[in-house]
Structure 1
């Protein structure tokens, strides 16, 4: 059996001695759910998230709303955080949310054109699809951006339309398990027979709520720590070593 990959700080990427080997975890899954921004690509590599968040704040102010509630998200270069903050402070204003969500979707589609592939992701996706493993994307990003990127890199057929992304209500973003529930329904796979690959605490928590086993992708020690603190028992620092287990 291939040895597990190492974490960025040099430790085994299996966080507990009794945890399942990541290669076995992957090879036993009937369906694999990929988070998008991180495990598949770096969405904002060429279209920075900082500018996206700032433009959302400018739009908010142009619509006559106080941008102060989104200041922290703008500072943190977090476009999704802007949406969540707006929903929190203007919970009844669905028209406002629709305008900002549409703008974020447009920004993400632009970003998809210059997104950089995560090393090993395309090879892993193709290997899993070739082996007959069903695939889905479960993401807080817009389905349009995901579809655009997958088409750009020729990965669309591997997912067979199973793209489950952000809807109109930010309350259903991960860590809410909504997108995972939709993926389970569309693929017809039982939660215990699926596997989610994600790189954030929100991914881990959503998978746990949905009853889906989880494999963390931690490209650096900081992400590894966040995943561990969220309860991830198995994480890898690269996807390239998983291809042979597909």
Structure 2
């Protein structure tokens, strides 16, 4: 296993050459959704909300301390599928994501990469655990929605289908009439990698830190980039 760099473009070139459809995770590869609106703070608020309803035992200690809103949402979705509790918790997280989208920061090189990939004929989709309302709001603000529309596949009301379940990837592939081997998934978390593996889609990891690289490696990612710049340079050539 190796980390692809600008000086080691072969793996990237092979991934790009095969990809007719590019599936993007949203928070991470496209933008830093919680750049100025702490995800950890949102997670704590969700935990406090659950505890305020007398649901102290809904989460395990590890889930409570994860400080990842999606870990909390997934846990409640698994234990109370289709319940009013799950619906209300999901809407609370959506509202927090909508607030975060107003101050989200674009990932370096993501905007020109998206536009360039579209210009050279690839079809793009978003396959994400974030709310589709949030994704569309952000992409509209960056004038990027036409590069993806109508293929935005965020979380649904069935919280058991959050990644690592490949549901959102399969929805994209089916809607676009694309075989998994003709697609490429760009993601920054182990759940992205596991979902891509389950769907049979080649995976490209994006990691801005050494711990993130380690996590992606452990999940099975074979190619990991610390920046999207090498992708953009290869496409421009």
Same fold (TM over 0.5): yes
The secondary structure found in structure 2 opposite 1:235 is strand
Moved more, 108-117 or 57-66: 57-66
Q: 1:233 aligns with which of 209, 218, 222?
A: 222
**Residues 1:142 and 1:93: Cα distance change in structure 2 (over 3 Å):** closer
Q: 1:118 aligns with which of 94, 104, 107?
A: 107
After superposition, the CA RMSD in angstroms is 1.9
1:17 aligns with none
Is the Cα contact below 8 Å between 1:30 and 1:133 reproduced in 2?
yes
Q: Whole-Å Cα distance in 1 between the matches of residues 126 and 169 of structure 2?
A: 9
1:157 Cα deviation from its structure 2 partner: 0.5
1:129 aligns with 118
The secondary structure found in structure 1 opposite 2:157 is coil
Is the Cα contact below 8 Å between 1:50 and 1:74 reproduced in 2?
no
Note if 1:32 corresponds to 2:12.
Answer: no
**Residues 1:67 and 1:106: Cα distance change in structure 2 (over 3 Å):** farther
Q: Whole-Å Cα distance in 2 between the matches of residues 237 and 13 of structure 1?
A: 13
The secondary structure found in structure 2 opposite 1:161 is coil
Is the Cα contact below 8 Å between 1:40 and 1:122 reproduced in 2?
yes
Q: Whole-Å Cα distance in 2 between the matches of residues 111 and 74 of structure 1?
A: 21
1:62-77 equivalent positions in 2, closer than 5 A: 62-66=52-56, 69=59, 72-77=62-67
What per-residue deviation string (whole Å, max 9, x for no partner) do you get for residues 66-99 of structure 1?
Answer: 26626544433211111122234x4356110000
The secondary structure found in structure 2 opposite 1:197 is strand
2:200 aligns with 211
1:201 Cα deviation from its structure 2 partner: 1.1
User: Structure 1 length normalisation: TM-score?
Assistant: 0.87
1:49 aligns with 39
Q: Whole-Å Cα distance in 2 between the matches of residues 158 and 44 of structure 1?
A: 23
Query: Where in structure 1 are there 5+ consecutive unaligned residues?
Result: 7-11, 15-19
Is the Cα contact below 8 Å between 1:137 and 1:164 reproduced in 2?
yes
Q: 1:160 aligns with which of 126, 149, 158?
A: 149
The secondary structure found in structure 1 opposite 2:45 is helix
Is the Cα contact below 8 Å between 2:132 and 2:155 reproduced in 1?
yes
1:219 Cα deviation from its structure 2 partner: 1.6
User: Structure 2 length normalisation: TM-score?
Assistant: 0.91
**Residues 1:13 and 1:198: Cα distance change in structure 2 (over 3 Å):** farther
Q: 2:97 aligns with which of 108, 111, 129?
A: 108
Q: 1:222 aligns with which of 211, 224, 229?
A: 211
Length, aligned pairs only:
232
Q: Whole-Å Cα distance in 2 between the matches of residues 63 and 50 of structure 1?
A: 20
1:164 Cα deviation from its structure 2 partner: 0.7
1:81 aligns with 71
1:183 aligns with 172
